[in-house]
Amino acid sequence: MTTMTLPPASSAPPLDLSNEDLYPIREVSRLTGVNSVTLRAWERRYGLLVPHRTPSGHRLYSMADIERVRSVMSWIDRGVAVSKVASIIDRQVKPAAVSEPVTEVGVAAAAIVTAADLQSWQTRLIEAVNAFDLRSLDLIYGQVQGDYPMSVMFDDVLLPVWKRFLDSDEGSGLSGQWAFLDAYLRGRLFQRLSYRRPGYPSVMFAGLPGPQKELEMLVAAAFIAAAEVDVVYLPAVPSISELTDMAQRCGCDALALYGGRTIEDDLLKSLRRMEQALECPVAVVGALCEVQPAELLRAGMVLLGEPAEGLSAKMRLLLAGRLEE
């Protein structure tokens, strides 16, 4: 069985400058799949990257730069023009992966979150997945779930490892490891969403037409469920007319739609007709909120943004009729 150590900073021979691990442009190309010409163009034309420079003028990149390159590629894959990516990324705030300790309110025992702790959990998770060790994977999931809030659990431990296995799967033959982790996490989230609580409001949550990564949808659904609602989960929309009928018959208090990429004008028109036909509010969750905000607002959608801690609070306000669009 072939195993792999995913590409955290320790896997490449970094150059040490000012106590920071820095990488030459050829190594950044290897780790991200973006060629050097494109990286230099992003820097020169759009200001997407600001690399360090050696005295001789050679570019050196930090791990934060490498993650930024991956983020840029993710937005481009969703249909965003490269000229608009910087403004989207710079509006986003990463809450926990910081160089100094941050106290997370509401965590049992007031846990202190540090970048070193998060890297340690990621390393343990990678080892468990490479070994196909279900018992260790279960222990890690339970400990992280108990020690950290959902935003840290998913954004800074589970999803970074899942995404690295997914990225590595394209040319490395590691489909077994990625599939193992993906199936495990989806199973845990399905279990989380299966609980029904009497008296709680109901939210129907469905994926818009087009390719979506189900785990990312399930994470969004988990944040919605954390708003003390029951989630009726649909991984894909059969059709907008059928979804309209289902929402009417279900009597849900809100309909939330997940979208990760640009949608066509015909679908926007269908969403507008659905919003006019339903008595409950219709909201959009996911990267689509950043990709086409004006178009969605014109269609009558409420924009809840990316899955994050704030999504739960926005859903509570939406159900209470107090969310300002």
Residue with tokens 């106590």: 19
Q: In angstroms, what is the C-alpha Rg of the chain?
A: 21
Q: What is the pLDDT of residue 83?
A: 75
Q: What is the pLDDT of residues 212-234, one digit of tens each?
A: 789 999 999 999 998 889 999 99
Sorted by sequence, the CB contacts under 8 Å of residue 291 that are 6+ apart come out as 75, 78, 79, 80, 261, 262
- What is the CA 18 to chain-centroid distance, rounded? 31
Question: Of residues 63 and 127, which shows the higher confidence score?
Answer: 127
* Exposure b/e, 38-66, CB count within 10 A at least 16 = b: bbeebbeebebbebbeeeeeebbbbbebb
Q: What is the pLDDT of residue 171?
A: 47
**pLDDT band with cut points at 50, 70 and 90 for residue 324:** low
Say if residues 178 and 166 touch (Cβ distance below 8 Å): yes
Say if residues 259 and 252 touch (Cβ distance below 8 Å): no
- Complete DSSP assignment for 27-66: HHHHHH---HHHHHHIIIII-----EE-TT--EEE-HHHH
Q: What is the pLDDT of residue 169?
A: 57
Task: Tell me what the pLDDT averaged over the chain comes to.
Answer: 81
Average pLDDT, integer, range 30-58: 83
CA-nearest of 213, 223, 208 to 288 is 208
pTM above 0.75, yes or no: no
Give the lowest-confidence range in 26-30, 110-114, 136-140, 149-153.
110-114
Q: How far apart are CA 295 and CA 157, in angstroms?
A: 34
The CATH superfamily holding the domain 199-319 is Cobalamin-binding domain (3.40.50.280)
The CATH fold of domain 102-191 = 1.10.1240
Helix (H) or strand (E) holding 102: strand 102-103
Highest mean pLDDT among 56-60, 191-195, 207-211, 292-296: 292-296
Average pLDDT, integer, range 138-167: 89
Say if residues 70 and 48 touch (Cβ distance below 8 Å): no
Domain ranges (residues) in the chain: 9-90, 102-191, 199-319
3-state class percentages of the chain: helix first, strand second, coil last, to nearest 5: 55, 15, 30
Say if residues 234 and 217 touch (Cβ distance below 8 Å): no
Sorted by sequence, the CB contacts under 8 Å of residue 138 that are 6+ apart come out as none
Q: What sign for the dihedral angle of Cα 104, 106, 112, 114?
A: negative
Which strand ranges, in their side-by-side order, compose the sheet holding 20-24?
15-17, 20-24, 59-61, 52-53
CATH C-level class of 9-90: mainly alpha
